[in-house]
Amino acid sequence: MLKVLKSGFFTSVQDSGRFGYRDKGVPVAGAMDGYTFRNLNMLLENDRDAAVIEITMTGPTLLFEENTFIALGGAEMSATLNNEPIQNHKNYRVSAGDILSYGKLERGFRAYLAIKDGFRSKSVLGSQSMYVPITELNHLEDRAHVPYQVNQTFEPRITEFKLDDLLDETLLEAHPGPEFKTLHDKQLEAIFFKEFTIAKENNRMAYQLNEAIGEHQISMLTSATLPGTVQLTPAGKLIILMKDGQTTGGYPRILQITDQAISILAQKKFGDTVSIKLL
């Protein structure tokens, strides 16, 4: 088991998400930064869906109760293993009694802890991703235990990824959304030639951007939304839906950002800037 000594700001178990229940209104959920999620599981030679721990802004303190291998990625949060600094994108052997802790947030916003063969928390409706009301809680609390399997024998084929992270990227690439054509020239100019700052309202459900691009009075019937859908509110603000985003909405869906752009945005916090490019 992994024992959560201190949970940090918002720490949760996430995998590749819950598929097949959107028609009942159940969001996909899953790791916000899918790029890092995939890379860490590859480094540990895990199944591509193996569950990881997602760590937001302020990291937890975690105790390993069995031997295994881990890899960290995503945001840089001054992580230490038994008080020795450890790096992202590298395999580490951990022993029973080892303590992983986090310090200052240096870059990015969401860090990931992947483990050999994945965390083994309870799967509900085909996924371990924490999301209320599918799981009882949406994040790990102090003293929580997360199961994993002992592994003494893993011999990694690669011990380290020389890999570009996306933490400093600010350009979000987007396809036109279903209601793209409702935008007028002034709004188009505001979207593609200006920078946006991330609003206080940002979480696993959605990121709101501060700058308005012009009001509208378009009314449409409720229709499906996806992670990465950019909605335009009547006040002219952009809301980008993320992994826990609602499955339907009534605001015009003006853009659909790419999977890579979702990973980039997942590493942004209040006040950071991004710009948008049309594909």
Q: Under DSSP, is residue 118 helix (H, G, I), strand (E, B) or coil?
A: coil
Which C-beta is closer to other proteins: that of 143 or that of 277?
Answer: 277
C-alpha to C-alpha distance for 239 and 189, rounded to whole angstroms: 18
Indicate which single residue of 3, 6, 22, 93 sits in contact with other proteins (rule: CB under 8 A). 22
- The angle, 0 to 180 degrees and rounded to 10, between the axes of the packed helices 259-266 and 34-43 is 90
Dihedral sign computed on CA atoms, order 256, 260, 266, 270: negative
Site for other proteins in 88-117 (CB under 8 A): none
Contact call for residue 46 and other proteins (CB under 8 A): no
Indicate which single residue of 253, 263, 265, 268 sits in contact with other proteins (rule: CB under 8 A). 253
Contact call for residue 182 and other proteins (CB under 8 A): no
Indicate which single residue of 5, 63, 124, 212 sits in contact with other proteins (rule: CB under 8 A). 124
CA dihedral (100, 104, 110, 116) in degrees, to 10, reads -20
Say if residue 170 is exposed, middle or buried (CB neighbours under 10 Å; 0-12, 13-18, 19+). Answer: middle
Indicate which single residue of 247, 269, 270, 272 sits in contact with other proteins (rule: CB under 8 A). 247
C-alpha to C-alpha distance for 171 and 274, rounded to whole angstroms: 6
Mask 203-222, x = binds other proteins (CB under 8 A)? -----------------xxx
Indicate which single residue of 88, 249, 251, 276 sits in contact with other proteins (rule: CB under 8 A). 249
Indicate which single residue of 187, 231, 256, 263 sits in contact with other proteins (rule: CB under 8 A). 256
Mask 56-95, x = binds other proteins (CB under 8 A)? ----------------------------------------
Residue 226: which residues within 8 A CB-CB, separation 6 or more?
A: 241, 245, 256
Q: How many CB atoms lie within 10 A of CB 98?
A: 17
Which C-beta is closer to other proteins: that of 83 or that of 217?
Answer: 217
Local structure of residue 9 (DSSP, 8 states): S
Beta strand ranges found along 96-140 (DSSP E) = 99-101, 107-115
Indicate which single residue of 143, 175, 194, 277 sits in contact with other proteins (rule: CB under 8 A). 175
Question: Do you find a cis peptide bond into 133, omega within 30 degrees of 0?
Answer: yes
Contact call for residue 223 and other proteins (CB under 8 A): yes
Which C-beta is closer to other proteins: that of 8 or that of 177?
Answer: 177
The residues that touch other proteins, with contacts defined as CB under 8 A, are 19-27, 124-125, 132-135, 175-178, 220-226, 228-229, 246-249, 253, 256, 258
